[in-house]
Amino acid sequence: MAERLIALVDHRTAPLPAPQAGSRAPAGTLRDARGRPLRDLRISVTDRCNFRCNYCMPKEVFGSEYAWLPHGALLSFEEITRVARLFVAHGVKKLRLTGGEPLLRKGIETLIGQLAALRTPGGGKPEITLTTNGSLLARMAQALKNAGLDRVTVSLDALQDDMFRHMNGVDFPVAEVLAGIAAARQAGLTPVKVNMVVQRGVNDGQIVPMAEHFRGSGVTLRFIEYMDVGATNGWRMEQVLPGAEVIALLQTRFPLLPLDPTAPGETAERWGYAGADGRHDPALGEVGVIQSVTQAFCGDCNRARLSMDGKLFLCLFAGQGYDLRALLREGREDAEIEAALAAIWQGRNDRYSELRASLPPEAARAMRRVEMSYIGG
């Protein structure tokens, strides 16, 4: 019963702005109520994953009896591409495929090819990226590149094999994920980024070993604060290791220099490894910290998220999504859907991470939030 209740929370739906026949498409870049432009669309393609990481899909909840969505509930590749095309027409420059584990979606290369054929108003190709746990990457990397994927981000929370097997919940060996990272680099899905979710007292002892392993490898390592996404992971603030502490720890071993953001709305605070001359050495690379808990970056957040069944979410911590699938399957014209998208984004006022610190812990935990496995990271 608890499993099904959690799934219902994930499916909570906000009222859609009523599309009007003959609606005109919005012109130019869309901006929300805080002036933030829409630049990044994250698209979840499946609710399924072959890992059971405790901070995302704990096996106590997502067990053998869990009710997965039927295939017909998922957006088809054509529906995803249609929505993405409308977003790209109004400012989106990056499309990121997520899950669940997106490489479990059969024929994912076909979708990548369709998305890679889209063009921005200026005639450019949007960046197509994918976040994966890396378990299937070694065998699929070249096909993904051939289909039009630009780069990948791999989730990896420990190098120590027994710790990694425990954390992924299915006894999967770390060597196979490392092989996937190597295959992605060989295929040209670069720059490869590796995301490590850090939990105090769980895998914080792996911070330095991870940095040592990837320093100078051409892979960018990013440390993510353990976040209160959803309601199933038992999140507590005392388990959060602030990004500032991560950087302080790394600086005891490596000289690091702050780097400028690469783009507006970038989530990671960048730090470059210094060379013998005291300046950043690009050959040694960089690390990043994503600090949505202790250093909220809501102020310039430019991301929207589309669930695998067509719900549009405006924040990683949202409790409700807007049902775009209903518009698609009602046979609405592009202009009507675009008008709805514009109304949704222009009304956006989300800033949960900024507000979290002012909320009593009990109130923050009690808030309904979509599960990370449903919305994508």
Question: Is 21 a member of any domain?
Answer: no
DSSP 8-state secondary structure symbol assigned to residue 131? E
Q: Nearest 10 degrees: CA dihedral of 258, 91, 128, 217? A: -10
Question: Is 325 a member of any domain?
Answer: yes
Question: Is 347 a member of any domain?
Answer: yes
120's CB contacts (< 8 A; 6+ apart) are: 88, 89, 93, 126
Question: Is 24 a member of any domain?
Answer: no
Alpha helices (H) along the chain? 2-10, 77-88, 108-116, 137-147, 161-168, 174-187, 207-214, 243-251, 324-329, 334-346, 352-356, 361-366, 372-375
Question: Is 304 a member of any domain?
Answer: yes
- Domain of residue 64: give its range: 2-15+30-375
Helix 243-251 to helix 207-214 angle (10° resolution) is 60
Distance of alpha carbon 156 from alpha carbon 268, whole angstroms: 16
What are the residues facing 206 on neighbouring strands? none
Question: Is 260 a member of any domain?
Answer: yes
Q: What is the pLDDT along the chain (377 residues), one digit of tens a residue?
A: 333 334 434 445 777 765 555 545 566 688 999 999 999 999 999 999 999 998 888 888 888 888 999 999 999 999 999 999 999 999 999 999 999 999 999 999 999 999 999 999 999 999 999 999 999 999 999 999 999 999 999 999 999 999 999 999 999 999 999 999 999 999 999 999 999 999 999 999 999 999 999 999 999 999 999 877 666 666 677 888 999 999 999 999 999 999 998 887 778 899 999 999 999 999 999 999 998 877 777 888 899 999 999 999 998 878 789 999 999 999 999 999 999 999 999 999 877 666 666 666 565 555 566 676 677 76
CATH of the domain at 284: 3.20.20.70
Looking at residue 236, what is its pLDDT? 77
Whether the model pTM is above 0.85: yes
Residue whose tokens read 């196979």: 176
- Total of domains in the chain: 1
Q: How far is CA 377 from CA 74, 131, 133, 216, 372, in A?
A: 18, 8, 11, 26, 6
- Residue 134 and residue 196 in contact, taking contact as beta carbons nearer than 8 Å: no
Map 340-364 to HEC letters. Answer: HHHHHHHCCCCCHHHHHCCCCHHHH
Longest dimension (CA), the chain: 65
Distance of alpha carbon 218 from alpha carbon 200, whole angstroms: 27
Question: Is 335 a member of any domain?
Answer: yes
Question: Is 20 a member of any domain?
Answer: no
Terminal Cα-to-Cα distance of the chain (whole angstroms) = 26
- Which amino acid appears at position 122 of this protein? G
